[in-house]
Amino acid sequence: MNGREPSEALREAHHLLRAMAAALQAYGLYEAGHPGRVAAAAEVEARAVRLRAALGRDPILFLARRSFYLGLTLLAWPSLSFHRLAEAFEAAGIESLELLPGLDRDDVDALVRLLAGEERAREELSRILLNRATPELPPGGGLAELLQSYAQGLELLREAASRLLAGRPANVEAARRLTEHLAERIAADPAQALLLTTVKSYDEYTFHHMVNVCVLAIALAQAVGLDHDRVITLGIGALLHDVGKVRVPQEVLQHQGKLDEEQWRLIQRHPVDGAGLVFVTSRDLLHPAAAVVLEHHVGFDASGYPPLGGGRPPSLPARLVSVVDCFDAVTSKRPYRAAEERRQALALIQAGAGRGFDPRLVRAFLRLVGLFPVGSLVQLSTGEVAVVVRNHERLLARPTVRLLLDASGTPCDPEERDLSLERPGGGYRWDVARSIDPAELGIDMLQLLASGRLEERPADEGPGLVHEPSPGEPPPPGYVEAHPVAEDLPPLDREA
């Protein structure tokens, strides 16, 4: 088995798993023989044929640690995106899936029925072999566990949005368990956690943003010394901070181009709506988390929204979340503005210190991520391109980097370089010449972090993150400050 699968095969494996996830959903909606089932099975069959052609041999897909692999290569995006499919694999006891020549529609139908819980369909498989191969995967832990938790966070938010839209409460206890696990993993390896927040997806931009903000908020809360209980409560609030956007019409959240005044008014209601949803979901447990949801756009100088009365500032957890919320938002593509390079995002946050942002938390965040944030791409004075993996405790302009491309632009061995090392005769051995946007080189940061492979970045399939302009940013065309009032909400515990 080859540990270095062709790039085209990785893309086809992604398409196959997407088709399988769609087929599983179709089989849950339609009866046997329905055109929806037939079309879904036909797509899976076609994708399996294309994967085999791209790979040049019988494909073997593995599921391990809730993540999908093609051979020994982790399929990072499918592992994040198709959490329910992974659960169906586990429930059916499927650890490996070998697709043989001659696979037809009947095989696909039997497989999907098995994934949907029909155990007798297992006996109908003839050109699909289950659990014959055993993967020899690297040990778990570190980024692998963080990636699994990230995927669980996305699925939790999908489910929460669905339940809230149906008038049912979200599963807050699941949010607490996830936040506690994330806090444990982040405390063990903050640098890996910060690397994971470079993940951006414009298929589900709001959910990815909410998980990124949760990870960044936990890392910053731990860095400033908050106790465990406050970190967990803050983390839950950060995870749910934009949950009020479930009440914003999809045509607004998915709007292409600039937004008009009425659309901005709808978006600016999300803190009030979100706090109400959290409070109704769990009155006793989540007063402090509800405060984070309500206040994350108020601003350090109380110039934001909604007004809290008496011009009082937001709570410490809300002030902290507002800093990391801004960082992730401005480094994401938005319908009305291109993504900022990560170093520029830090400069914008620094410019807002004392106005929109608590200056103490800004300083702490700068120390946490460094002048070149973990996950940033940089070009060295040698012409080589590298990714920042750790920051120096004192020399913030001298991080440790991992090489990706040599001076000619050719992928090279992932050697780590400490930019604080000096030459024997004085002076530093390497310098950062400039920061680089991953999009400039078309690099898929998630696949790079997950497997160390340099792959093309998937096409952005959405308009981007609909988000309030940050303090110091010029407002986009059509922007209006609507400032909804936080009425009909109970007193919130703002000190946790």
Of the candidates 190, 183, 275, the one whose C-alpha atom is nearest the C-alpha of residue 229 is: 183
What is the token pair recorded at 464? Answer: 């981007």
DSSP 204: S
Bridge partners (DSSP) of residue 67 are: 64
Of the candidates 311, 350, 342, the one whose C-alpha atom is nearest the C-alpha of residue 440 is: 342
Of the candidates 211, 194, 181, the one whose C-alpha atom is nearest the C-alpha of residue 81 is: 211
Mind spelling out the 3-state secondary structure of 269-305? CHHHHHHHHHHHHCCCCCHHHHHHHHHCCCCCCCCCC
Q: What is the pLDDT of residue 496?
A: 47
What is the token pair recorded at 434? Answer: 């400039």
Of the candidates 111, 103, 110, 115, the one whose C-alpha atom is nearest the C-alpha of residue 53 is: 103
CA angle 249, 251, 257 (to 5 degrees): 130
Q: How far is CA 78 from CA 152, 211, 313, in A?
A: 13, 17, 42
Instruction: Give 416's contacts (C-beta < 8 A, 6+ positions apart).
Output: 389, 400, 401, 402, 403
Of the candidates 154, 196, 236, 179, the one whose C-alpha atom is nearest the C-alpha of residue 328 is: 196
Assess contact for 74 and 64: CB atoms under 8 A: no
Tell me which residue has tokens 């699909």.
Answer: 128
Its pTM stands at: 0.80
Of the candidates 8, 150, 13, the one whose C-alpha atom is nearest the C-alpha of residue 74 is: 13
Q: Given strand 128-130, what is the order of strands in its sheet?
A: 73-74, 67-70, 60-64, 96-99, 128-130
Assess contact for 108 and 48: CB atoms under 8 A: yes
CA 439 to chain centre: 17
Structural Rg of the chain based on CA atoms: 24
Q: What is the pLDDT of residue 382?
A: 93
Q: What is the pLDDT of residue 383?
A: 94
Instruction: Give 166's contacts (C-beta < 8 A, 6+ positions apart).
Output: none
Q: How far is CA 129 from CA 58, 136, 175, 203, 464, in A?
A: 11, 18, 37, 32, 40
Q: How far is CA 317 from CA 110, 193, 289, 469, in A?
A: 50, 20, 9, 20
Residues of the chain with pLDDT under 50: 1-2, 284-286, 488, 490, 496
Q: What is the pLDDT of residue 285?
A: 47
Q: How far is CA 320 from CA 12, 84, 224, 324, in A?
A: 41, 32, 10, 7
Ramachandran assignment for 112, one of left (phi > 0), alpha (psi -120 to 50 degrees), beta (any other): alpha
How many CB atoms are closer than 10 A to CB 367?
15
CA 158 to chain centre: 13
